[in-house]
């Protein structure tokens, strides 16, 4: 037999064909990325006229005050100092606040493929404010405060979602809401002026309905914050710097509920400040969320925020992408079976037949992606794997010259697709299962080829016909 039919040469050609299939595998990966991008664009268009991921902050009381400052000026080469009166702001956090949110989710669709989760959040709460007893540590006297010009602000990351039922009350007094945070403050939300001339402790009551999408976050403010949320969405994901304990949350098919109790000691923030506090918001970055600051857009730690993400139960693009990462496992095992039939059993398999078989295996991932967008991942997996198993089993009967051998290929493919589905659902065990499979395959190949002379077509200790399957 010629040298190009030696087992070593066959192994080399098989490896080259397998390496050539890297290109179509990468093309499928790019196809998944493109479809994923199109899905994100469609989801953004769904929520464009609704509102984005919402972040609400506890109410703040802002009191203007007057202060004297010395400024230096240089005129005609001489530096002079003069005293001026300036107007600055004092920011007071509540001594206690309670916030309850009832999130009503809804799935909106664009066409028959793309979906996004939006919601209406009915929010009610209260916040108590009192005159700080330690103003002097900031160098401020109560006589400097312009209490009649005080105002309350309620930061909301995307005010587009604010509905017409928003109301702020102090006792029986309903405050007139205005857009923005007031007094050239950066950030988004609403504010209302409040004459606090008496300087007495008071309780603020607030309620509003807020539209949003994908996620809802709360920034705690004050000495004590109690936050409770309820929803009928069964797939929440809790993140941020504050997570509810196991005893403080319930998640089930009918929805979820959770509560937080956060003290000022955990926040590490002063209740009184002359600097405007940051109002962190969550923004979507690809498939993930990151925390940003409304004024500058800089990344922050997110330790001062509690986030609830309304997750999709299945991210089909991620699952198809994970399945594609096992593409070489399918190609390798199938080519290995063909190679064993070729070398040990004498079935002549041409490089073109390896290539066509590899193309069929790659087509599985394209079909999986296409059908998953229409009928869901599980049913798409059944349809795509069934079609490819039937196609390659029939083709193997012609290539290997025997339906008995083709049934071995069919059984191998059924086992591979079954194991892959298990790997996709048991992510924590995927590496263990995959490594065991590779070990078993390597051991089987070593055993089957233990008598082969790789430099020629002979088998040590037996004739080729005796070793044929």
Q: Please state which of the ranges 282-291, 382-391, 423-432, 436-445 shows the lowest mean pLDDT.
A: 282-291
User: Is the pTM higher than 0.85?
Assistant: no
pLDDT band at 185 (very low <50, low <70, confident <90, very high): low
State residue 329 phi and psi, 5-degree precision.
-65, -45
Q: What percent of the chain has pLDDT over 70?
A: 79
What are the two backbone dihedrals, phi and then psi, of residue 172, each rounded to the nearest 5 degrees?
-95, 0
Confidence at 231, pLDDT banded by 50, 70, 90:
very high
Nearest residue to 135 (alpha-carbon basis) of 126, 147, 149:
147
pLDDT tops 90 at residue 102: yes
What the block records as the tokens of 417 is: 């697709």
The percent of residues in the chain predicted with pLDDT above 90, rounded, is 6
Residue 134 sits at the vertex; the CA angle it makes with 128 and 137, to the nearest 5 degrees, is 140
Domain ranges, ordered by start, for the chain = 7-39+316-449, 52-310
* Confidence tier at 463 by pLDDT (50, 70, 90): very low
| Model confidence band, residue 396 (pLDDT cutoffs 50, 70, 90) | confident
Mean pLDDT (whole number) for 114-141: 84
pLDDT at 303 over 70: no
Through-space distance between the first and last CA atoms of the chain, rounded to whole angstroms: 20
- pLDDT tens across 25-40, in order? 888 888 888 887 777 7
pLDDT band, residue 55 (cuts 50/70/90): confident
Q: What is the pLDDT of residue 295?
A: 45
- Look up residue 203 and give its two tokens: 């309780």
Q: What is the mean pLDDT of the chain?
A: 78
Closest CA to 57 of 274, 278, 297, 262: 278
pLDDT for position 230:
92
The pLDDT of residue 101: 92
Residue-wise pLDDT for 194-206, tens only, equals 888 888 889 999 9
Both tokens of 371, joined, read 């059908």
| The predicted structure's pLDDT at residue 5 | 60
Answer whether residue 323 shows pLDDT above 90. no
CA distance 119 to 52: 10
Write a three-state SS string for 132-198: CCCHHHHCCCHHHECHHHCEEEEEECCHHHECCCCEEEECCEEECCEECCCCCCCCCEEEEECCCCC
More confident residue, 445 or 465: 445
Looking at residue 60, the DSSP 8-state letter turns out to be: E
Confidence of residue 103 (pLDDT cuts 50, 70, 90): very high
Q: How confident is the model at residue 325 (pLDDT cuts 50, 70, 90)?
A: confident
CA distance 33 to 26: 11
Confidence of residue 455 (pLDDT cuts 50, 70, 90): low
């Amino acid at each position: 037999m010629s040298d190009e039919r030696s087992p070593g040469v066959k192994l080399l050609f098989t490896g080259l064909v397998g390496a050539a299939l890297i290109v179509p595998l990468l093309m499928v990966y790019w196809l998944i990325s493109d479809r994923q991008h199109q899905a994100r664009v469609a989801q953004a268009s769904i929520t464009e006229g609704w509102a984005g991921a919402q972040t609400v902050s506890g109410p703040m009381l802002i009191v203007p005050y007057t202060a004297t400052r010395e400024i230096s000026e240089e005129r005609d080469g001489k530096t002079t100092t003069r005293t001026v009166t300036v107007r600055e702001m004092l920011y007071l956090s509540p001594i206690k606040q309670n916030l309850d949110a009832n999130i009503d989710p809804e799935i909106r669709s664009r066409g028959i493929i793309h979906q996004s989760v939006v919601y209406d959040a009915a929010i009610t709460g209260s916040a108590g404010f009192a005159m700080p007893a330690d103003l002097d540590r900031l160098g401020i006297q109560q006589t400097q405060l312009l209490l009649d010009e005080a105002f309350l602000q309620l930061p909301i990351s995307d005010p587009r979602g604010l509905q017409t039922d928003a109301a702020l009350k102090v006792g029986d007094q309903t405050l007139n809401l205005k857009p923005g945070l007031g007094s050239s403050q950066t950030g988004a939300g609403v504010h209302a002026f409040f004459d606090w001339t008496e300087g007495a402790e008071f309780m603020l009551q607030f309620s509003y309905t807020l539209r949003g999408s994908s996620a809802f976050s709360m920034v705690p403010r004050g000495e004590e914050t109690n936050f409770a949320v309820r929803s009928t969405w069964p797939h929440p994901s809790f993140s941020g710097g504050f997570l509810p304990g196991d005893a403080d949350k319930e998640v089930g098919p009918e929805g979820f509920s959770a509560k937080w109790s956060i003290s000022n000691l955990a926040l590490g923030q002063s209740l009184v400040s002359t600097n405007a506090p940051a109002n962190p918001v969550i923004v979507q970055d690809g498939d993930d969320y990151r925390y940003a600051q409304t004024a500058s857009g800089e990344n922050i730690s997110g330790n001062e925020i509690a986030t609830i993400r309304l997750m999709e139960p299945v991210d089909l693009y991620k699952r198809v992408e994970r399945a594609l990462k096992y593409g070489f496992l399918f190609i390798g095992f199938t080519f290995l079976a063909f190679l064993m039939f070729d070398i040990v059993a004498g079935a002549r398999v041409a490089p073109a037949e390896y290539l066509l078989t590899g193309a069929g295996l790659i087509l599985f991932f394209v079909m999986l992606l296409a059908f998953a967008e229409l009928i869901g991942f599980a049913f798409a997996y059944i349809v795509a794997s069934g079609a490819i198993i039937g196609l390659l089993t029939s083709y193997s009967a012609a290539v290997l010259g025997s339906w008995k051998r083709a049934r071995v290929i069919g059984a191998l493919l059924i086992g591979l697709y079954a194991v892959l589905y298990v790997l996709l659902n048991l992510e924590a065990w995927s590496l263990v299962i995959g490594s065991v499979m590779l070990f078993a395959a390597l051991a089987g190949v070593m055993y089957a080829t233990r008598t082969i002379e790789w430099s020629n077509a002979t088998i040590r200790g037996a004739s080729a016909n005796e070793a044929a399957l």
